Amino acid sequence: MSARDRLRIAIQKSGRLNDASIDLLARCGLRFRRSRDRLFCFGETLPVDLLLVRDDDVPGMIAEGVCDLGIVGRNVLREQILGRQGSAGAASFREIRSLGFGHCRLSLAVPDGFDYVGPVELSNLRIATSYPGLLADWLRRSSVDARIVSLSGSVEIAPRLGTADCICDLVSSGATLAANQLKEVAVILESEAVLAASAVLPVDRRRELIDMLLRRIDGVIQVRVSKLVLWQSPRASLDAITRLLPNGQRPTVTPIEGLDNQVSAQAICNDAITWQHLEDMKRAGARQMLVLPVEQMLT
């Protein structure tokens, strides 16, 4: 098998997305052997290899054909898409799946004493950010003329240093903003880890691997919230009980031997099952209820 018959995925070599990315791929059945420099991982279970790189480098490696897929923050991907649209036409990479981890948001924050009513308050102000493309796009859509101060780090201290009037930065808990006497006033982008790919997917063996990996990723993401619910009830109560299941499928029903009109049922629910759900099901006629985790799912 030649080198490019193997699928290549770029992921963050360190940081908040690294462990979760490797865990996701492991749950998809992929196992890897790391090289001595710990920058390359050879796929042992499937012809899928990993490159461990800086997150900012992931989109470019896809654009250059070095990798076929990448796991990166939506904020990084969208920023680079906007940058390439401005300098070289349409970007050659895109988001193909949201992955459900690494949640954060790109937000506008102003000093605590700033009386913010809306975007118009930002006119003619200086806004510090590491995401000038995303900020410029939001300002344009909001019809605001402000000066963007591009910084590579420590954005939150810019107002205290006098280099900016407010900031646009990533926010998770908001603790860093509070520590710097800033308050969040507008969300520009909701971000999380996403799977990125070339705008044009390969048509060789790698395409089959991509399709297979996407099916497995969809299954893993589905399993995170899915539960298997089992119960017994009178057959006449089945419809009422099933309607109480959150985002549930039609149940599989089996007669209970020796008990006329009594059945055992099970259904997959693609949402959380609470104690209130179980209480409601009990009142509708269910008994012997069990809620079990789903380890793997392929639809």
Q: Give the CATH number of the domain where residue 233 resides.
A: 3.30.70.120
pLDDT band at 116 (very low <50, low <70, confident <90, very high): very high
Count: domains in the chain? 3
Residues in the chain: 299
Is pLDDT at 2 greater than 50 in this prediction?
Answer: no
Structural contact between residues 10 and 57, judged by C-beta atoms closer than 8 angstroms: yes
Q: What is the mean pLDDT of residues 146-167?
A: 93
Is pLDDT at 44 greater than 90 in this prediction?
Answer: yes
pLDDT band at 1 (very low <50, low <70, confident <90, very high): very low
pLDDT of residue 173: 87
Share of the chain above pLDDT 70, in %: 96
Q: What is the mean pLDDT of residues 264-277?
A: 89
Do 9 and 132 have their domain in common?
no
Do 73 and 205 have their domain in common?
yes
Is pLDDT at 87 greater than 80 in this prediction?
Answer: no
Entry pTM:
0.79
Residue whose C-alpha is closest to residue 53's, from 64, 101, 91, 192: 64
Do 124 and 199 have their domain in common?
no
Structural contact between residues 153 and 130, judged by C-beta atoms closer than 8 angstroms: yes
Is pLDDT at 88 greater than 80 in this prediction?
Answer: no
pLDDT tens-digit profile of 175-209?
999 999 999 999 999 999 999 999 888 888 899 99
List CB contacts of 203: < 8 A, sequence separation 6 or more.
none
Do 97 and 165 have their domain in common?
no
CATH number, domain containing residue 174 = 3.40.190.10
pLDDT of residue 86: 58
Do 14 and 95 have their domain in common?
yes
Who has greater pLDDT, 147 or 174? 147
Tell me whether strands 93-98 and 32-34 are parallel, antiparallel or unpaired.
unpaired
Do 97 and 197 have their domain in common?
yes
Q: How far is CA 8 from CA 73, 150, 193, in A?
A: 18, 32, 18
pLDDT of residue 204: 87
Range of the domain at 213: 3-101+193-223
Do 34 and 124 have their domain in common?
no
Domain assignment present for residue 298? The answer is: no
Do 174 and 253 have their domain in common?
no
Do 8 and 94 have their domain in common?
yes
Is residue 228 helix, strand or coil?
strand
Who has greater pLDDT, 296 or 292? 292
Do 94 and 118 have their domain in common?
no
Do 150 and 212 have their domain in common?
no
Q: How far is CA 293 from CA 8, 42, 49, 270, in A?
A: 32, 31, 30, 11
Average pLDDT of the residues of the chain: 91
Q: What is the mean pLDDT of residues 127-139?
A: 96
Domain assignment present for residue 299? The answer is: no
